[in-house]
Amino acid sequence: MNKPVVVDIQNLTKIYAGRHEAAVKNLDLQICEGEFYGLLGPNGAGKTTTISVISSLLKPSNGNIVIHGYNLNDNLNKIKQLIGVVSQEIALYNKMTAFENLYYFGRLYGIDKGYLKKRIDFLLDRLGLLKYKNDKILSFSGGMKRRINLLAGLLHEPSILILDEPVVGVDVHSRNVIREFLKEVNADNTTIIYTSHIMEDAEKLCSRLSILDYGEIVEQGSPHALITKHSDCSSLEEVFLKLTGQNLRD
């Protein structure tokens, strides 16, 4: 691996206020430029927590995050410009149209008006939403909202795109469109970090991944390497079940 490390998570621990157990324990993780990196794990494993710390939504209890050589504590605005965050929730204004939402967020990123309008049209078209440009989010289906939610994190062409379960609750068609789109974005040299519960997707998309359980990495490597390593397993899903056990987590 000779590509530069763009996300360097050093000894990250997060203990939520009022909790005894750490949600993430002494996590060390390096992600290189251009990777499509998966964070997998059962419910409550600490995926969202990890992603929230990288996106500066949560303060770590301990540890250090360095992105593109900038320390998260000291260069917050610089880092915010470099990363795009797509949360698990649909973070959009329901009473505003798709265009108004994207325009608003885009302008806050400081994108030039004329260019922003073109980019919004381009992105909407790419995800099959151009004809709904002037419809309120309110009137959108779950899959459509997901896609707009995704676009809102991509307007400023971030170098690193962080996605928390980008395909949760969408139908097979939408999922496919999103997956293809993410591949394209990744091919454009955007580093992607994403969480998912869909092993099949992860196996197809990720260049590398980590399996988290109880806030710790239990295994990491490329999907192919993991399946090879656990020779008794024929798919990523089997590896996952083997490593995280069969018990329910919540």
Partner 1 sequence: MNKLLTSIYKEGILLIRDIEGVVIMFVMPLILVIVVALLQQKAFTGISEDKIPVVIVDFDNDALSSSLIEGIAGSDMFAVTTVQGSDSLMLDNAKRNVADGVFQIGIYIPQNTTNIIKSRAVSMVQQQIPGAIQSNVNDINIQGKIHLFFDPVIKQSFRGIAKSTLMQFASSVETRIIFDAYSKFIDALTNQTSELEFPEKPAIEFSEELVSEFTAGIVPNAVQHNVPAWILFGMFLICIPIAGNIIKERGDGCLARLKTIPVNYLQIMIGKVVVFVGICLIQALLMILVGIFIMPLLGLPQLQVGGNIMALLIVSVASGFAASGFGILIGSMATTHIQASAFGAVSTVIFAAIGGAWIPVIIMPAVMQKISAISPMNWGIHGYYEVFLRSANALEVLPDVSKLMVFATVCITGSLFFRKYGKSL
Ligand X SMILES: Nc1ncnc2c1ncn2[C@@H]1O[C@H](COP(=O)(O)OP(=O)(O)OP(=O)(O)O)[C@@H](O)[C@H]1O
**Contact residues for ligand X (CB under 6 A)?**
16, 19, 23, 41, 43-49
Owner of token pair 């399946």:
227
Q: Does residue 87 belong to the site contacting Mg ion (CB under 5 A)?
A: no
Cα distance between residue 132 and residue 204, in whole Å: 30
Cα distance between residue 90 and residue 169, in whole Å: 11
Q: Does residue 80 belong to the site contacting partner 1 (CB under 8 A)?
A: yes
Cα distance between residue 127 and residue 142, in whole Å: 14
| Per-residue contact string for residues 125-164; x = within reach of partner 1 by CB under 8 A | -----------x---------------x------------
Give the DSSP letter string of 15-79. Answer: --TT-SS-SEEEEEEEEETT-EEEEE-STTSSHHHHHHHHTTSS--SEEEEEETTEETTT-HHHH
Cα distance between residue 175 and residue 60, in whole Å: 32
**Residue 100 interacts with which of Mg ion, ligand X, partner 1, none, CB < 5 to 8 Å by class:** partner 1
**Residue 225 interacts with which of ligand X, Mg ion, partner 1, none, CB < 5 to 8 Å by class:** none
List 4, 21, 28, 108, residue binding partner 1 (CB under 8 A): 108
The residue among 19 and 131 lying less far from ligand X, judged by its C-beta, is: 19
The residue among 16 and 122 lying less far from partner 1, judged by its C-beta, is: 16
> Is 236 in contact with 203 (CB distance < 8 Å)?
yes
Nearest distance in Å: CB 23, ligand X: 3
Cα distance between residue 51 and residue 127, in whole Å: 25
Q: Does residue 52 belong to the site contacting Mg ion (CB under 5 A)?
A: no
Reduced to 3 states (helix: H, G, I; strand: E, B; else coil), residue 111 is coil
Q: Does residue 100 belong to the site contacting partner 1 (CB under 8 A)?
A: yes
Q: Which parts of this chain interact with partner 1 (CB under 8 A)? A: 16-17, 55-59, 76-78, 80-81, 83, 85, 87, 89-96, 100, 104-105, 107-110, 136, 152
